[in-house]
C-alpha cells in the first residue's frame, strides 16, 4: 500500500511538530520536566497559546512526545554505534552499546533525566506509545546475548535459577521474546542492563562527587569489562 503524497499543509504541520519538540527539549533543559509549560513553548514558537493546542493537547502530551523523541534518539545513537562493529564480535557490540548510552546521556542530561530519573509528578507515560521506543536499547543488548549464546560464545554455568517463581518469570521472558538463552543468562542480562544504566546515572547525576575521579570515563571502562564478564561473553 503506497503512502498518500504529502501536501504543503501536512509538511507545515510536521515542521511545527518538530519545532514544538525541539523547543520543548530546550525548556526541559532550562526549566525541568515538572515546570514544562505549553504556553511557554507556544510563546517561543510565535503562536498564541490557544493555537498550540491544535498540535499538542496538553502538557502530558508534550511530555510523551519528548519521552518518545528521547528514546528514539538514544536508540538511534546505539544503532549507529553498532553499525561500526562486526556482528560476530559480541564483546565489542556490548561495549559499543554501553559507550553510546553514556555518550548520549552526557550530551543530553535533561532528556536522560526525563527518561531514567525521578518520575514527573502527575504524569504517567502511556505504555502503548513509549514501550516500543523505550525498549530499543535493551532489545539490542538481548540480541547480542542471544547471538553469542547461539554461537557458543558465552561462558556461564547453567545453574538452576531460584526461587521457582523467578524461574517461571525467566521462562515467560524467554517464550515472549523468542529466546534460546538459559535462565542464568536472562538473570545476568537483567543485572547487566540495570547496572549499565546505574553507572551512567551515577555520572549524569553527579553521584560520584566532583573530585572522586580525574576522568569518570576511566571507571566506566572498568565497569564495561565487569558487565561483559557478568554475562559470560568471550572475546572474538
Q: Model confidence over 186-216: pLDDT tens digits?
A: 999 999 999 999 999 999 999 999 999 999 9
Q: Which CATH superfamily is domain 9-57 in?
A: Homeodomain-like (1.10.10.60)
Distance of CA 197 to the CA centre of its chain: 9
> What count of other Cβ atoms lies within 10 Å of the Cβ of residue 26?
14
The whole-model pTM stands at 0.94
What pLDDT, on a 0 to 100 scale, did the predictor assign at position 236?
62
Round to whole Å and give the CA distance between 226 and 221.
9
pLDDT tens profile 64-84 = 999 999 999 999 999 999 999
What pLDDT, on a 0 to 100 scale, did the predictor assign at position 3?
59
Instruction: Parse the chain into domains and list their residue ranges.
Output: 9-57, 63-231
If we measure between CA atoms, which residue out of 128, 152, 134, 131 comes closest to residue 73? 134
What pLDDT, on a 0 to 100 scale, did the predictor assign at position 4?
61
Question: Are 29 and 110 within 8 A, CB to CB?
Answer: yes
SS3 of 135, please? coil
ω into 174 cis (within 30 of 0): no
Q: Cα-atom radius of gyration of the chain, to the nearest Å?
A: 21
Same fold: 9-57 with 63-231: no
Mean pLDDT of the chain: 95
Q: Which CATH architecture has domain 63-231?
A: Orthogonal Bundle (1.10)
Low-confidence ranges of the chain (pLDDT < 70): 1-5, 236
What pLDDT, on a 0 to 100 scale, did the predictor assign at position 60?
97
Amino acid at each position: 500500500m503506497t503512502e498518500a503524497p504529502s501536501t504543503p499543509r501536512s509538511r507545515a504541520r510536521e515542521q511545527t511538530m518538530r519545532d514544538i519538540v525541539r523547543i520543548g527539549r530546550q525548556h526541559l533543559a532550562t526549566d525541568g520536566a515538572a515546570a514544562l509549560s505549553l504556553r511557554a513553548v507556544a510563546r517561543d514558537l510565535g503562536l498564541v497559546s490557544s493555537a498550540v493546542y491544535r498540535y499538542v493537547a496538553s502538557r502530558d502530551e508534550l511530555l510523551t512526545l519528548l519521552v518518545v523523541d528521547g528514546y528514539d534518539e538514544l536508540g538511534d545513537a546505539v544503532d549507529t554505534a553498532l553499525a561500526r562493529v562486526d556482528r560476530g564480535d559480541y564483546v565489542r557490540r556490548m561495549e559499543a552499546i554501553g559507550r553510546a548510552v553514556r555518550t548520549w546521556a552526557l550530551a543530553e542530561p535533561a532528556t536522560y533525566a526525563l527518561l531514567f530519573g525521578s518520575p514527573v509528578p502527575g504524569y504517567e507515560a502511556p505504555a502503548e506509545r513509549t514501550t516500543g521506543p523505550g525498549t530499543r536499547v535493551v532489545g539490542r543488548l538481548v540480541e547480542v546475548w542471544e547471538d553469542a549464546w547461539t554461537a557458543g560464545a558465552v561462558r556461564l554455568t547453567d545453574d538452576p535459577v531460584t526461587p521457582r517463581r523467578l524461574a517461571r518469570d525467566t521462562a515467560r521472558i524467554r517464550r515472549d521474546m523468542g529466546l534460546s538463552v538459559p535462565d542464568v543468562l536472562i538473570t545476568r542480562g537483567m543485572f547487566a542492563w540495570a547496572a549499565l544504566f546505574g553507572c551512567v546515572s551515577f555520572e549524569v547525576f553527579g553521584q560520584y562527587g566532583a573530585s572522586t575521579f580525574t576522568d569518570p570515563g576511566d571507571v566506566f571502562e572498568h565497569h564495561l569489562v565487569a558487565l561483559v564478564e557478568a554475562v559470560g561473553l568471550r572475546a572474538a
